[in-house]
Structure 1
Amino acid sequence: MTTTATPTTSGARDSESFDEAPFDEEAFQDLKAEITAWVEGPGEDYADEIEATGQVPDRLLPELRDRGYLSLAAPVELGGRGIPFSRYLELMEIVSRSHASIRMLVHVINGTWRAMVPFATPEQLEEVVKPSIAGTKLVAFTLTEATAGTGQDLRTTARLEGDTWYLNGEKHLITFGVKCDYWLIAARIEGSTEKDGFVAFLMPNSGLPGAEVIDDSDTMGIRGTDHAILRFTETPVPASALLGEQGDGLKVALGGFLLPSRVSVAMSAVGLAERAQQLAVEYANRRETFGKPLSSRQAIQFYLAENYADIAAARALVIEAAKAYEEGRADAGVLSSASKMVAVDMLARVTDKALQVHGGQGYWKRNKIERVYRDARAQRFEEGTNEIQKLVVGRAVVTGAVSY
């Protein structure tokens, strides 16, 4: 099954230049059924194992890779399956009903190529981008800092001397930052105060001098996924690691990855909410109070009705944001933020009601809703907190940048 790649930000290489091919709807529906069966079968076994051990088993990544789940959205010319962004999100919706660490692998690996492709040199395409799409090399998106993280406030700096950059600073909350092969890292050019004073690098995670990797993986949810604190002190980075040109750093980080990734996170919230609703319905039908199924109680039906409407509304907005991104519309960025803002708030309401349907039983780890409830909290800050998303949307509204 092949289709055209989705639009990306402008740069040295535009993914829109790849050849178009017809979309095979029948094959896509077969793929959806396959992924659903995997999520409900082996995926649940993996989820139980991850929760029991606190580790993602080594065999999971190769299995996802061999099934083609890590190369769903990338262009066929780069080794991907070329599924359009809005249709790929239908698959992300399904995957997100599984364990958060499974969703994280599929989400990140299917997204980082968008940041790299428009700016990568031919050598970087062969050495990093294509292996990343194939799932043989792992790239960690490296933006957030302890005292910064929205982009222009970055404090990590890079200084060019000859043909070597020297990196100084600290990054926090870096997913896959411990075990990855490369860091896709953004930094401010030392001494720069301009918006275009940023650079991006594809740095190998291979014991560079002055680079300290601290395992920071003990989290509330998304158990098993590694997270890192990275500290750089005069760390030398060869000029060949520069992704794009000087000044492209924020284009790489914000446009290339974060915009579509916010929409993907929003859809993952929809998928996880659907799983919470499914668990709530199953429990309400199974549990009896005073000789009647819990599901016959009006209060419970109201919870489930509200959840259904909440999920459906959020999903519609996410699909609209995805189509805006595909079409390169001017409102794509605002809809990206709006969809994440709405979807993660929806997820909080749905998982809370789903847990309440379970009563005290839901608080015990032996019930799957407990893990779903914990995992749901992470999406409130993935790819920017809701407070940041509201700033983006609010500014667009008051300046008339959006229409109705």
Structure 2
Amino acid sequence: MSDFDLFRTSEDHEALREAVREVAEDKIAPHAAAVDAESRFPREALDALVATDFHAPHIGEEYGGVGADALATCIVIEEVARVCTSSSLIPAVNKLATVPLILAGSEEVKQRYLPAVASGEAMMSYGLSEAGAGSDTASMTCRAVEQPDGGWVLNGQKSWITNAGESRYYTVMAVTEPDAPRGRNVSAFVVEQDDEGFSFGPLEKKLGIKGSPTRELLFENCRIPGDRMVGDRGEGLKIALRTLDHTRVTIGAQAVGIAQGALDFARGYVKERQQFGKAIAEFQGVQFMLADMAMKLEAARQLVYVAAAKSERGEDDLPFFGAAAKCYASDAAMEITTDAVQLLGGYGYTKDFPVERMMRDAKITQIYEGTNQIQRLVMARQLLAGT
């Protein structure tokens, strides 16, 4: 990781921010409203991110990536989310799905899949949740049964899968040891889009992030070879939870980006909007709202950046800080975007301005990769355990 003060980013990080912001404003922002209105995948964003190596910056140089540290990856996601949350899920989900391989995969598995994601040839998605196993992931029922030839047959489904249908590869958790103790009965696999017996459910009709397709993964006697297992047999849930410790930080970064975009737009609006013969920015009530929005945003950003530093170093208190960053930043984003809508008044409630989209997009950051209620449980357990 680049050497940097916990409370001050390095010159390299700020140069990266400037580069990503330019791409985001020039290539992604002009399409954000249409992507939302049409519920279509942000192809322009994918092309722009791949062209600049911002689509999966966390993948190491040994696999053809740029090897960005955890904070740099958060800055990429933050700056893209500032203009289009759906587009920010491209680097965020590429990281979510590949971290299990990075943490636990064999070198053969890493060499097979990471270079394709690093080059932009393929995207990768993550399959953990099920219709009856959301927060309670250990109760999953998707099964993988070993075959005499060493391969596996998968049956079941996965729910709420981001970028499903657009990604070529999927990291999927499935029960392999039905009689083993709860939490030690799951293994991780890579499933490829064209595997026989693998299909997708219809697109979910969502409140926000409409440009990022969310669908079920459906497995009906889906056959995969034995060399697709990620990590050791029975260790899948442990790998999944370790993964979330790292990737919850990126959801915090996404929330910070959404909040920054809303604050930027609202600040510009109140300086121009005239009422009672002067700009509404001159009214103390408006100034107090802006001050509170900015205060919450900067607190969230600092927590996310500290958590990113701990993720990079793999520190023991990462579970607490990852959960805290995701929880605090997403709660702050919901409050800040709601206040941005309020500051625009009736205009804020219309699709002519972006803050209503930002408010809708912010809501999901409180839900996915573990609801904020689950984050509070994670933090409490860490505190009670004395870590």
Choose the corresponding residue for 2:25, options 5, 17, 40.
40
Question: How far did residue 251 of structure 1 move?
Answer: 3.1
Question: How far did residue 63 of structure 1 move?
Answer: 2.5
Choose the corresponding residue for 1:49, options 15, 30, 34.
34
1:306 and 1:321, CA in 2 relative to 1: closer, same or farther beyond 3 A? Answer: same
Give the equivalent residue in structure 2 for 1:14.
Answer: none
Question: How far did residue 118 of structure 1 move?
Answer: 3.4
Q: Distance in 1 between matches of 2:188 and 2:206?
A: 28
Choose the corresponding residue for 1:129, options 114, 137, 141.
114
1:178 aligns with 2:165: yes
TM-score (normalised: structure 2): 0.92
Any residues of structure 2 matched to 1:264-343 within 5 Å, and which?
264-343=250-329
Give the equivalent residue in structure 1 for 2:247.
Answer: 261
> Which stretch shows the higher mean deviation, 144-153 or 327-336?
144-153
> Which residue identity does 2:120 align to in structure 1?
G
Q: Distance in 1 between matches of 2:208 and 2:109?
A: 34
Q: Distance in 1 between matches of 2:338 and 2:247?
A: 25
* CA deviations over 1:180-214 (Å, ceiling 9, x no partner): 211110012242342222111101111522x3311
> Which residue identity does 2:376 align to in structure 1?
K
Q: Distance in 1 between matches of 2:95 and 2:120?
A: 9
SS of the residue 1:65 aligns to:
helix
Question: How far did residue 28 of structure 1 move?
Answer: 4.6
Identity of aligned residues (%): 28
Q: Distance in 2 between matches of 1:25 and 1:299?
A: 36
Give the equivalent residue in structure 1 for 2:73.
Answer: 88
* CA deviations over 1:262-281 (Å, ceiling 9, x no partner): 00101111111111111111
1:198 aligns with 2:186: yes
1:28 and 1:389, CA in 2 relative to 1: closer, same or farther beyond 3 A? Answer: closer
Q: Distance in 2 between matches of 1:316 and 1:76?
A: 28
Q: Distance in 2 between matches of 1:80 and 1:338?
A: 29
Q: Distance in 2 between matches of 1:319 and 1:57?
A: 27
Conserved? CA contact 1:50–1:57, under 8 Å? yes
Any residues of structure 2 matched to 1:157-168 within 5 Å, and which?
157-162=143-148, 163-168=150-155
Question: How far did residue 179 of structure 1 move?
Answer: 2.4
> Which stretch shows the higher mean deviation, 30-39 or 115-124?
115-124
Question: How far did residue 239 of structure 1 move?
Answer: 1.0
Structure 2 segments unaligned to the other structure (5+ residues): 4-8
Give the equivalent residue in structure 1 for 2:16.
Answer: 31
* CA deviations over 1:325-363 (Å, ceiling 9, x no partner): 222221111111111111111111111111100111111
Q: Distance in 1 between matches of 2:43 and 2:254?
A: 23
Conserved? CA contact 1:3–1:83, under 8 Å? no
1:129 and 1:136, CA in 2 relative to 1: closer, same or farther beyond 3 A? Answer: same
Give the equivalent residue in structure 2 for 1:377.
Answer: 363
Q: Distance in 2 between matches of 1:202 and 1:188?
A: 14
Any residues of structure 2 matched to 1:227-242 within 5 Å, and which?
227-242=214-229
Q: Distance in 1 between matches of 2:11 and 2:376?
A: 39
> Which residue identity does 1:206 align to in structure 2?
D
Q: Distance in 1 between matches of 2:50 and 2:26?
A: 17
Choose the corresponding residue for 1:244, options 228, 231, 251.
231
Q: Distance in 1 between matches of 2:2 and 2:322?
A: 22
Give the equivalent residue in structure 1 for 2:92.
Answer: 107
> Which residue identity does 2:61 align to in structure 1?
V
Q: Of Structure 1 and Structure 2, which has the larger fraction of its residues in helix?
A: 2
Choose the corresponding residue for 2:341, options 355, 372, 376.
355
Give the equivalent residue in structure 2 for 1:116.
Answer: 101
* CA deviations over 1:274-293 (Å, ceiling 9, x no partner): 11111111111111111111
Conserved? CA contact 2:96–2:125, under 8 Å? no
Give the equivalent residue in structure 1 for 2:6.
Answer: none
1:380 and 1:26, CA in 2 relative to 1: closer, same or farther beyond 3 A? Answer: closer
SS of the residue 1:170 aligns to:
strand
1:398 and 1:120, CA in 2 relative to 1: closer, same or farther beyond 3 A? Answer: closer
Conserved? CA contact 1:273–1:347, under 8 Å? yes
SS of the residue 1:366 aligns to:
coil
> Which residue identity does 1:185 align to in structure 2?
V
Conserved? CA contact 1:285–1:293, under 8 Å? yes
Conserved? CA contact 1:217–1:224, under 8 Å? no
1:219 aligns with 2:206: yes
* CA deviations over 1:4-38 (Å, ceiling 9, x no partner): 9xxxxxxxxxxxxxxxxxxx965554332121122
SS of the residue 1:394 aligns to:
helix
> Which residue identity does 1:254 align to in structure 2?
L
Any residues of structure 2 matched to 1:54-69 within 5 Å, and which?
54-69=39-54
* CA deviations over 1:27-73 (Å, ceiling 9, x no partner): 55433212112222222112133134321254432331111112322
